[in-house]
Homo-oligomer: A and B are copies of this chain.
């Protein structure tokens, strides 16, 4: 049997404990949704005041040069590169994950002009599928998105697969793919391997280069804590950067935006993946957040993540019995930094938990999802969440009809 005292002892021995104070966390709240929206780094809040009043208010247009706004997508990109195994000049921060996926998928298809299949898995995050679907429809050349269960990915790699498009960590179950193995298999089949790092970047060591990956995208507002809707990123290794012109050719991806030339001439390197003018306020927040994230050793972050999620599974199973069912892998190395359970009334259960100041989220149709951002979540949080869940279930608190009324965002 484990107890709250065990949790407190684990927190006391946590080498990352001091990071919690770098974030704003409401008193009394157990926040287990950092995989959906990362908490506010105090440094980001300070930076926003600075960017708004000094850079925009006082500097005005001059800040494009004086505050270095023009280089911000590349500077932030270089910071992210350190988290995902990229080199300087291989990552830019820009647009949304969806828009970036569009760019890299189009690029991948242009590298395999004779092939027509984009292979992905049924459980991939929908926007990845919708983007592939939209691109195939626009191209009108018979491209198709083929979706198979996780277990059939390897056997589905055939000579028509142009791109294998996968999310590293499953948004619902937290299952983590073996990036290296799948990438190698994709290459053996002659396909391009594209990875979506939305649920892994910042939460664990990721080494795109070592895995041999070809292209990647990721999200700025989950484990990177850039703020709601923070701009996303994309990674294109140097070896591929000049192999294609990405289709969303906007002025900031031009070799000389301020020459105002009539014909598009792509910038050298990853800069050609920029398109329009980036949202500087949102990107500055992400920039400041990354300074905090980069102070931590990702190996230690990962060790804590595995310990935290294991402790939470143990606590839930001890306190709730079989009222909920684990759908995340029990083996720590096979999962991301989240734990998911199913319950037939999961939406109402999560609402009841939130009423008790434990914030996770619901994912249709029946998943209770709990994210563990190791920089600001501790073992006592995990314990308290498990106890609150047990309390909801044993008291049938979730059976109040009003808790079943769905909000716009679930």
Residues of A within 8 A of B (CB): 24, 26, 29, 31, 33, 36-37, 39-40, 44-45, 48-49, 52-53, 55-58, 60-65, 69-71, 95-99, 102, 106, 122, 125-127, 129-131, 133-135, 137-141, 147, 221, 227-232, 245-251, 253-254, 257-264, 275-283, 285, 354, 359, 361, 363-364, 406-410
- In the complex, are the beta carbons of B279 and A135 less than 8 A apart? no
Listed by A's residue number, 29 A-B pairs whose Cβ atoms lie within 8 Å are A40-B57, A49-B49, A55-B228, A62-B354, A63-B228, A95-B96, A97-B277, A98-B248, A98-B276, A99-B99, A99-B248, A122-B262, A126-B257, A126-B260, A126-B264, A129-B264, A130-B249, A130-B253, A131-B250, A133-B264, A137-B247, A140-B141, A228-B277, A228-B279, A229-B278, A232-B276, A258-B410, A279-B283, A281-B285
Cβ contact within 8 Å between A275 and B98: yes
Contact yes or no, B277 A359, CB < 8 A: no
Known: A45-B57, A258-B410, A359-B60. A138 touches B139 (CB 8 A): yes
Known contacts A98-B275, A259-B364, A408-B71; A138 and B229 CB within 8 A of each other: no
5 new A-B contacts at CB < 8 Å, known A96-B278, A134-B245: A29-B60, A33-B60, A33-B61, A37-B56, A230-B281
Given A98-B275, A245-B137: A126 in contact with B359 (beta carbons within 8 A): no
In contact, B131 and A249 (Cβ under 8 angstroms): yes
The distance in angstroms between the C-alpha atoms of A56 and B230, with both chains bound, is 12
Q: Please measure, in the bound complex, the distance between the C-alpha atom of A141 and the C-alpha atom of B138, giving whole angstroms.
A: 11
**Are A279 and B229 touching (Cβ within 8 A)?**
yes
- Residues from chain B with a CB closer than 8 A to the CB of A282 are 279-282
The interface residues of chain B lying within 8 Å CB-to-CB of A138 are 106, 138-139, 247
Q: A126-B262, A229-B278, A276-B95 are in contact. Are A248 and B131 (CB under 8 A)?
A: yes
Contacts of A359 in B (CB 8 A): 60-62
Q: How far is the CA of A230 from the CA of B408 in the complex (A)?
A: 25
**Inter-chain contacts of A26 with B (CB < 8 A):** 57-58, 60
Partner of A127, one of B44, B45, B245, B276: B276
A260 to B280, CA, bound (A): 30
Complex CA gap A125/B249 in Å reads 13
Chain B residue, CB-CB nearest to A362: B258
Chain B proximity of A177: nearest CB distance (Å): 19
What are the residues of chain B within 8 A of A129 when measuring CB–CB? 262-264
Across the two chains, which residue of chain B brings its CB closest to A66? Answer: B407
Which residue among A106, A248, A254, A279 has the maximum number of chain B CB atoms within 10 Å of its CB?
A279
In the assembled complex, the CB of A96 is this many whole angstroms from the nearest CB of chain B, namely 3
Query: Does B279 lie within 8 Å of A64, measured CB to CB?
Result: no
On chain B, the residues within 8 Å of A246 by CB distance are 134
Pairwise interchain contact A248-B45, C-beta atoms closer than 8 A = no
Which B residues touch A39, using CB under 8 A? 57, 60
The 3 closest A-B pairs by CB, nearest first: A96-B276, A98-B276, A98-B250
With A and B bound together, what is the CA distance between A122 and B260 in angstroms?
11
Q: Give the Cβ gap from A232 to chain B, nearest Cβ, in Å.
A: 7
* Residues in B whose Cβ lies below 8 Å from that of A29: 60
Please measure, in the bound complex, the distance between the C-alpha atom of A114 and the C-alpha atom of B117, giving whole angstroms.
27
